[in-house]
Amino acid sequence: MLGYEEVRQRASRIVDVTRRRYMPPWLPSPGYGDFTGQRRLTDAQIATLRQWQQQGAQEGQAADLPPVPHFTEGWQLGEPDLVITLPTPYSVPAGTTDIWRNFVMPIPVPTSRYVKTVELRPGTAKVVHHALMAVDPTKASRRRDERDAEPGFEGMDMGDSQAPDGHILGWTPGMLPVPGDEGRGWLLKPGTDLVLQLHLMPSRQPQTVQPSVGFYFDSKSPAGPPMILIRLDADQALDIPAGEKDFVVTDAFKLPVDVDVLAVYPHAHFLARKMEGLAKLPDGTERPLIRIDDWDFKWQDVYRYAKPVSLTKGTTISMRYSYDNSAGNLRNPAHPPRRVTAGLRSSDEMAHLQLQVAARTDQDVALLKEALSRHQIEKNPGDAWAHYDLANVLRDNGDIDGAIARYREALRLAPDHGAAHNNLGVLLADHGQLEQAIDQYLLALRVEPDSADANFNLGNALSARGRTSDAIDLYQKALRLEPNMTEAHVNLGRAFAVQGKLDEAVAQFREAVRLDAGSAEAHNNLGAALGSLGRLDDAIGEFRRALQIEPNNARARDNLRVALEKVGPRAK
pLDDT of 339 reads 97
Q: Is residue 73 part of a domain?
A: no
Percent of the chain at pLDDT exceeding 70 = 99
pLDDT of 570 reads 58
For 78, half-sphere exposure in the C-beta direction (CA atoms, 13 angstrom radius) is 5
Is the per-residue pLDDT at 246 higher than 70?
yes
Are 412 and 558 found together in one domain?
A: yes
Are 262 and 349 found together in one domain?
A: yes
Percent of the chain at pLDDT exceeding 90 = 72
Structurally, how many domains does the chain consist of? 4
Are 360 and 390 found together in one domain?
A: no
pLDDT band at 569, cuts 50/70/90?
low
3-class state of residue 394 by DSSP = helix
Share the mean pLDDT of the chain.
92
Query: Residue range 199-212: average pLDDT?
Result: 88
pLDDT band at 438, cuts 50/70/90?
very high
Task: Report the candidate in 484, 455, 517 with the shortest Cα–Cα distance to residue 192.
Answer: 484
How far CA 421 is from CA of 48, 137, 296, 435, 454, in Å, comes to: 65, 20, 42, 13, 9
* Letter string b/e over residues 377-402, b meaning 16 or more CB atoms within 10 A of that residue's CB: beeeeebbebbbbbbbbbbeeeeeeb
Q: What is the pLDDT of residues 336-372, one digit of tens each?
A: 999 999 987 778 999 999 999 999 999 999 999 999 9
Are 307 and 359 found together in one domain?
A: yes
Q: Per DSSP, what are the bridge partners of residue 352?
A: 233, 267
pLDDT band at 1, cuts 50/70/90?
confident
Is the per-residue pLDDT at 572 higher than 70?
no
Are 288 and 358 found together in one domain?
A: yes
Q: What is the CATH number of the domain that holds 280?
A: 2.60.120.230
Domain that holds residue 42: 4-62
Amino acid at 127: V
Task: Report the candidate in 256, 252, 375, 372 with the shortest Cα–Cα distance to residue 314.
Answer: 256
Task: Report the candidate in 168, 317, 159, 155 with the shortest Cα–Cα distance to residue 232.
Answer: 317
* Domain boundary, last residue among 166, 189, 217: 217
pLDDT band at 304, cuts 50/70/90?
very high
3-state helix, strand, coil in the chain (%, to 5): 40, 25, 40
Q: What is the CATH number of the domain that holds 121?
A: 2.60.120.310
Rounded to 5°, angle at Cα 297 from 294 and 302: 90
Q: Is residue 222 part of a domain?
A: no
Q: Is residue 75 part of a domain?
A: no
Higher pLDDT residue, 172 or 358?
Answer: 358
Q: Is residue 223 part of a domain?
A: no
Pairing of strands 316-323, 286-292: unpaired
Are 441 and 539 found together in one domain?
A: yes
pLDDT of 111 reads 84
For 72, half-sphere exposure in the C-beta direction (CA atoms, 13 angstrom radius) is 8
Are 316 and 411 found together in one domain?
A: no
Of the ranges 63-67, 162-166, 452-456, which is most confident? 452-456
Are 115 and 189 found together in one domain?
A: yes
pLDDT of 474 reads 97
Instruction: For residue 449, give every residue at least 6 positions away whose Cβ sits within 8 Å of its Cβ, in sequence order, or none.
Output: none
pLDDT of 243 reads 97
3-class state of residue 85 by DSSP = strand
Are 296 and 365 found together in one domain?
A: yes
Instruction: For residue 157, give every residue at least 6 positions away whose Cβ sits within 8 Å of its Cβ, in sequence order, or none.
Output: 344
pLDDT band at 182, cuts 50/70/90?
confident
Rounded to 5°, angle at Cα 203 from 198 and 209: 40
pLDDT of 156 reads 81
Instruction: For residue 320, give every residue at least 6 positions away whose Cβ sits within 8 Å of its Cβ, in sequence order, or none.
Output: 248, 249, 250, 274, 275, 276, 278
pLDDT of 365 reads 94
Are 411 and 515 found together in one domain?
A: yes
Instruction: For residue 13, give every residue at least 6 positions away whose Cβ sits within 8 Å of its Cβ, in sequence order, or none.
Output: none
Q: Is residue 136 part of a domain?
A: yes
Alpha carbon distance 27, 273 (integer Å): 11
Query: Residue range 177-183: average pLDDT?
Result: 85
Q: Are 173 and 24 in contact (CB under 8 A)?
A: no
Query: Residue range 540-569: average pLDDT?
Result: 90
Query: Residue range 51-70: average pLDDT?
Result: 92
Q: Is residue 543 part of a domain?
A: yes
Alpha carbon distance 190, 277 (integer Å): 38
Is the per-residue pLDDT at 166 higher than 90?
no
Q: What is the pLDDT of residues 490-510, one digit of tens each?
A: 999 999 999 999 999 999 999
pLDDT of 170 reads 86
Are 412 and 287 found together in one domain?
A: no
pLDDT of 98 reads 82
Is the per-residue pLDDT at 125 higher than 80?
no
Q: Is residue 529 part of a domain?
A: yes
Q: What is the pLDDT of residues 472-489, one digit of tens each?
A: 999 999 999 988 888 999
Pairing of strands 128-136, 193-200: antiparallel
Is the per-residue pLDDT at 159 higher than 80?
no
pLDDT of 79 reads 95
Q: Is residue 69 part of a domain?
A: no
Higher pLDDT residue, 346 or 86?
Answer: 86
pLDDT of 119 reads 95
Are 371 and 284 found together in one domain?
A: yes
pLDDT of 278 reads 98
Instruction: For residue 521, give every residue at least 6 positions away whose Cβ sits within 8 Å of its Cβ, in sequence order, or none.
Output: 490, 546, 553
Q: Exposed/middle/buried for 348, CB within 10 Å: 0-12, 13-18, 19+? A: middle
Q: What is the pLDDT of residues 7-46, one digit of tens each?
A: 999 999 999 999 999 899 899 999 999 999 888 999 999 9
